[in-house]
Structure 1
Amino acid sequence: MVAVQERPPTNARPNPVLAFLRNSWRQLTSMRTALILLFLLAIAAIPGSVLPQRSVNIEKVNQYYVEHPSLAPWLNRLGMFEVFASVWFSAIYVLLFTSLVGCVLPRLRDHYRALRSVPPNVPARLDRLPQHAVLEGAAGIDDIAAALRKRRWRVAVRDDTVSAEKGYLKETGNLIFHFALLAVLAGVGFGSWYGWHGNRLLVVGSDTAFCNNLQQYDEYGLGARIKAADLPRFCLELTDFKAEFLPSGQPSSYQATARVDDGPPQRFSVNSPLRLGDANVYLLGHGYAPIIRYTDRYGQSQTTVAPFLTVDGMLTSEGVAAFPDANVDPRGGARDPNLQVAFEGLYLPTAPDAAPYTRSVYPAERSPALMLWAYRGNLGLDVGLPQSVYTLDQRQVNSGRLKPVGEAKLLRVGEKMTLDDGTTAEFLGTRQYATLSVRYDPGEFVALGGAATGLAGLMLSLTGRRRRVFFRVTTGSSRLVEAGGLPRTDYSGFAEEFQETVKAVTVVEKR
């Protein structure tokens, strides 16, 4: 007898942490998880398309706060006004990127092996395949292989059999599509790291030109790897703006003209941005800035160009014209903060023919009118707290530090309103303004190239069909050629292709 030495039992158990990480990685890199994450990313992008975004148009975000004062703060806490920069969107984005890498790399390895391998051996029973045919003739192995290669089949000849395979472009297209999707995600991520943007409401005129620094933007955002000193240096002046509207009031075209530094004027429109070396200037919106001249009790006049924000499609606009340095005694320079003046205004590019004058009836300036409400008191600008330049500080109004003066008055161009202390406000006309977005995104071409490549890969994936054909030549009293066909994927046209392939071999036989 031979003694068998038993192995002592082991008490070693798999490390639970490693097992958990291994299982988590397998779940994350499965195709099912990748599809779920892609679906979640599409759902997460919906709020960014429905709700206004600060990085695109800060004015609409402010307008949403006015229209939904109770809902907007909650949406802001959830990051709904900065969806694509939120933590939860970035988490889905990173998980999807990781999942795609884990899915694609093993498939690339397997596809590479499949491309280097030869078609499999001919099955023993060809009559059991979905397509089958028996030919009589004198076609030889070399003739059959040559006919198949001519039809772009990959061929393997073994003794008296021929195996052929076609349709590798389907998996190639799948891999191209997934790598292109990775390129799109990488381009978006690279752009968010090294890109920047700034929004600016710019009034037509040389006195309102601005230079490219953060202090002169109404709203801005910098990538994680960008600092304020990295911004390119240029100055931009809006020299002209033209808007055309349909009879219904819908805008048909916006065209702006701008001068960059000391260069010649350049035109750009909504779908054709102004392209600079390191930035693009996009045209987002349009409105009017009333010009108001206020003459105080000492006869001193001040003129302001106050951009008003639009509130409807007919460009009815609301805004504020503030004169914090009004009523300063010219003899001693004494400045009484309680004699500051401001006007709330409602601008109508085309006022109706009769009251009520609450909204414009057309967005172009056919019958411009300005409704003004006067306020006198402390505007609250001296305390150093930030305030909106488009609305009055309601805290000052509610506390009584800023009081209304008289009644509202509708002014046409050139008309004046006189306050109770003899001071006057005159409506001199308007200037147009444009809302501009200055952007630099170094990843946009990567994302665009990935999108185009992904479309090409998707077309290959949809049109490619993996299939195989087999031939066996038997010799006896007469030479017989037995053929069989097997589609590897659902392919309704394979029967016709198999018949054409067999016909091609038959033609070889006849020759």
Structure 2
Amino acid sequence: MGVRVRGGDLMRYLRLFWVQLTSMRTALLLLFTLAVVAIPGSLLPQRPVAPIRVSDWKAANPAVADLYEKLGLFDIYHSPWFAAVYLLLMISLVGCIIPRIGVYARALRTPPPRTPRHLNRLPASVQGTSTLSADEALAAGQKLLASRRFRTRRDGDSVAAERGYLREFGNILFHLSFVVMLVGLGWNSLWGYKGEVITVEGQAFSNNLTQYDDFTAGAAFTPADLAPFTVWIDRFTAKFETGEVQRGAARVFQADVRVAHADGTPEKARIEVNQPLVVDGTKIHLIGHGYAPVVTVTDPQGHVAFSGPVIFLPQDGNFTSLGVIKAPDARPDYLAFEGFFLPTAVVDERGPHSVFPDALSPELFLTAWTGAPRTETGVPESVYSLNKTGLTQMRTADGTLVTFKIAPGQIVDLPDGSTLSFDDWRRWTKLQVSYEPGLWLVIASVLIAVAGVSASLYVRPRRLWLRVSEQEDGTLRVDAGGLDRAESATGLNDDVAALAAAAGAEASGTTVSPTSQEDAP
């Protein structure tokens, strides 16, 4: 027998769910949950940033790779459950803040509360007599309160005052900053993009999808959103510490470039670490560099099979760099070389390695590979690794494997009649090109949060009251009292005493409580 839910019950359950979702406790719990679910993003490689590292990790951990893939742990920030927590947090914050804004708006329109009957029961109070008239005493007290930025309300024989409305405004501003931040992050996630490109000195790249080595973008991104510009890398300068202390430490990394828009002439600029170049709202950061030896390979017929710089990737702090030189147009056989570029080469018991990151005595250490020419398939192939399928290491006539070292300006004659010359070396730079349209909104949210916290910490909500009454002997009795609406506030006693003094009272008694309390009716 099925269970029927009446319309009234359903609405009651929905209302209860909404109340729980929009409570501050739930908002804080969701914020904590969002931080927790983001942890795998820093512990595991993420596919949009490092797809090769993801493949390597999965190969090394086959037992859990499929499970992690199904859970979306290799792309945390685009997974459905991360988006669900994100959206619930947004709804919770909005649903929590909007009612508070309404309450605060009503509080701003509401005058200070009426004067309590027994002022002497407040945390701080003063009683005395005054030689002024009732109107003069109330007017003087009201004037003092207004000068100290209290909102006042005169009601018959008393004056009520209150200040500190900015404290709640600061709280609302602080929580509103989280909503602004989430909007900014969502804006970046949908319309932003980030790409990385390696460019050798003397070469250029255009802001086009085909130019990038790695590229990630939001769901709303289209290639037409790419700003049309070109950057030439004219020179990259790297300087290292040569002294005994911190030897090899980086001192200068900078790229001198030229930038041109689609219809403009190139303009000179410079990119340094933490000093990006901004072009049409797109930021270009310098995030890496290395060496690119310039080589020429000729086949046995003397034809140039390859000529130009080849990017070698650094493996340690002294820039021992690994790379591959490919000459697919060599005939009759395909030629390739694999090995190391050492900027300051040393050969010892550890084998060949670099002992300093600058190119003081550069050398190439290579092994030669050969095989049948390959058919072009159109499938992209990594320029940083060698597919050795169908290749064999080249040997001399006596069967010795061909391995050699070569310095700039030298040429090596290979057993099959081909040659390799080490013509020169250049530096390459790795640039990160990013467009984050919502970044200014995220920064604004941080500033809003700081302003809100400052207001909530330093603004002291306080209420003061002053009452005058004529006694049987014809003298004017003055009663002043006050309370603080926040913990750790100071100066309440001084304000109450000053209010009574402004009304012309000569104090006859005071009551002071060590802690503040909200006793206002």
TM-score over 0.5 for the alignment? yes
State the secondary structure of the residue aligned to 1:265: strand
Q: Distance in 1 between matches of 2:17 and 2:315?
A: 51
> Relative to 1, partners in 2 of residues 1:381 and 1:183: Cα closer, same or farther, differing over 3 Å?
farther
> Relative to 1, partners in 2 of residues 1:286 and 1:452: Cα closer, same or farther, differing over 3 Å?
same
Q: Distance in 2 between matches of 1:409 and 1:505?
A: 98
Corresponding position: 1:270 with 2:273: yes
Corresponding position: 1:188 with 2:185: yes
> Relative to 1, partners in 2 of residues 1:80 and 1:248: Cα closer, same or farther, differing over 3 Å?
farther
1:51, distance to aligned residue in structure 2 (A) = 5.7
Q: Distance in 2 between matches of 1:232 and 1:162?
A: 64
> Relative to 1, partners in 2 of residues 1:288 and 1:471: Cα closer, same or farther, differing over 3 Å?
same
Q: Distance in 1 between matches of 2:453 and 2:375?
A: 59
Q: Deviations over 1:328-383 (max 9, x none)?
A: 4xxxxxxxxxx211111212222236343454222211222222121112586634
> Relative to 1, partners in 2 of residues 1:304 and 1:20: Cα closer, same or farther, differing over 3 Å?
farther
1:8 corresponding residue in structure 2 = none
State the secondary structure of the residue aligned to 1:352: strand
> Relative to 1, partners in 2 of residues 1:465 and 1:192: Cα closer, same or farther, differing over 3 Å?
same
Q: Which has the higher strand share?
A: 2
Q: Distance in 2 between matches of 1:223 and 1:486?
A: 53
Q: Distance in 1 between matches of 2:146 and 2:503?
A: 13
Work out which of the residue numbers 286, 296, 299 in structure 2 matches 1:296: 299
Q: Distance in 1 between matches of 2:505 and 2:8?
A: 69
Q: Distance in 2 between matches of 1:347 and 1:376?
A: 21
State the secondary structure of the residue aligned to 2:504: helix
1:4 corresponding residue in structure 2 = none
Pairing of 1:202-217 with structure 2 (within 5 A): 202-206=199-203, 209-217=204-212
1:256 corresponding residue in structure 2 = 255
Corresponding position: 1:385 with 2:379: yes
2:436 corresponding residue in structure 1 = 441
Pairing of 1:416-435 with structure 2 (within 5 A): 416-435=411-430
Q: Distance in 1 between matches of 2:57 and 2:38?
A: 23
Q: Distance in 2 between matches of 1:257 and 1:355?
A: 40
Q: Distance in 2 between matches of 1:288 and 1:16?
A: 71
1:3 corresponding residue in structure 2 = none
> Relative to 1, partners in 2 of residues 1:379 and 1:501: Cα closer, same or farther, differing over 3 Å?
farther
1:159 corresponding residue in structure 2 = 156
1:253, distance to aligned residue in structure 2 (A) = 3.0
1:461 corresponding residue in structure 2 = 456
CA contact (8 A) 2:322 2:339 kept: yes
Corresponding position: 1:409 with 2:404: yes
1:471, distance to aligned residue in structure 2 (A) = 2.1
Q: Deviations over 1:117-172 (max 9, x none)?
A: 01112222222222222222235222211111111111111112222111111111
Pairing of 1:308-457 with structure 2 (within 5 A): 308-328=312-332, 339-352=333-346, 354-378=348-372, 382-393=376-387, 396=389, 401-405=390-394, 406-457=401-452
Answer with 344-353 or 171-180: which moved more.
344-353
CA contact (8 A) 2:334 2:374 kept: no
Q: Distance in 1 between matches of 2:114 and 2:372?
A: 93
Question: In the alignment, residue 437 of structure 1 is paired with which amino acid?
Answer: Q
State the secondary structure of the residue aligned to 2:100: helix
Matched residues, number: 479
Q: Distance in 1 between matches of 2:325 and 2:128?
A: 94
Q: Distance in 2 between matches of 1:416 and 1:188?
A: 55
Q: Distance in 2 between matches of 1:250 and 1:17?
A: 68
> Relative to 1, partners in 2 of residues 1:67 and 1:251: Cα closer, same or farther, differing over 3 Å?
farther
Q: Distance in 1 between matches of 2:218 and 2:345?
A: 45
State the secondary structure of the residue aligned to 2:142: helix
Q: Deviations over 1:97-127 (max 9, x none)?
A: 1111111100000000001101112222222
1:483, distance to aligned residue in structure 2 (A) = 2.1
Q: Distance in 1 between matches of 2:194 and 2:235?
A: 23
Q: Deviations over 1:388-439 (max 9, x none)?
A: 2111125x1xxxx111222432322233444332322222232111111222
Q: Distance in 2 between matches of 1:481 and 1:270?
A: 69
State the secondary structure of the residue aligned to 2:393: strand
Question: In the alignment, residue 209 of structure 2 is paired with which amino acid?
Answer: L
Work out which of the residue numbers 303, 306, 309 in structure 1 matches 2:310: 306
Query: Share of identical aligned residues, percent?
Result: 37
State the secondary structure of the residue aligned to 1:118: coil
Q: Distance in 2 between matches of 1:283 and 1:351?
A: 26
> Relative to 1, partners in 2 of residues 1:64 and 1:227: Cα closer, same or farther, differing over 3 Å?
closer
> Relative to 1, partners in 2 of residues 1:443 and 1:378: Cα closer, same or farther, differing over 3 Å?
farther
> Relative to 1, partners in 2 of residues 1:54 and 1:254: Cα closer, same or farther, differing over 3 Å?
farther
State the secondary structure of the residue aligned to 1:197: strand
State the secondary structure of the residue aligned to 2:354: coil
> Relative to 1, partners in 2 of residues 1:451 and 1:23: Cα closer, same or farther, differing over 3 Å?
same
1:210, distance to aligned residue in structure 2 (A) = 2.4
Q: Distance in 1 between matches of 2:414 and 2:35?
A: 57
Q: Deviations over 1:478-504 (max 9, x none)?
A: 3222222222121341xx333234225
State the secondary structure of the residue aligned to 1:96: helix
1:5 corresponding residue in structure 2 = none
Corresponding position: 1:108 with 2:101: yes
Please give the root-mean-square deviation of Cα atoms over the aligned residues, in Å. 2.7
Q: Distance in 1 between matches of 2:196 and 2:5?
A: 63
Question: In the alignment, residue 199 of structure 2 is paired with which amino acid?
Answer: L
TM-score scaled to structure 1, two decimals? 0.86
> Relative to 1, partners in 2 of residues 1:199 and 1:299: Cα closer, same or farther, differing over 3 Å?
same
Work out which of the residue numbers 466, 472, 478 in structure 2 matches 1:481: 478
Question: In the alignment, residue 340 of structure 2 is paired with which amino acid?
Answer: L
CA contact (8 A) 2:482 2:496 kept: no
Question: In the alignment, residue 380 of structure 2 is paired with which amino acid?
Answer: P
Q: Distance in 2 between matches of 1:227 and 1:12?
A: 47
Answer with 247-256 or 154-163: which moved more.
247-256
Q: Distance in 1 between matches of 2:459 and 2:444?
A: 22
Q: Distance in 1 between matches of 2:76 and 2:430?
A: 21
**Structure 2: any 5+ residue segments left out of the alignment?**
395-400, 507-521
Answer with 311-320 or 100-109: which moved more.
311-320
CA contact (8 A) 1:147 1:508 kept: no
CA contact (8 A) 1:170 1:466 kept: yes
> Relative to 1, partners in 2 of residues 1:147 and 1:86: Cα closer, same or farther, differing over 3 Å?
same
CA contact (8 A) 2:126 2:496 kept: no
Corresponding position: 1:23 with 2:12: no
State the secondary structure of the residue aligned to 2:345: coil
Q: Distance in 1 between matches of 2:436 and 2:461?
A: 41
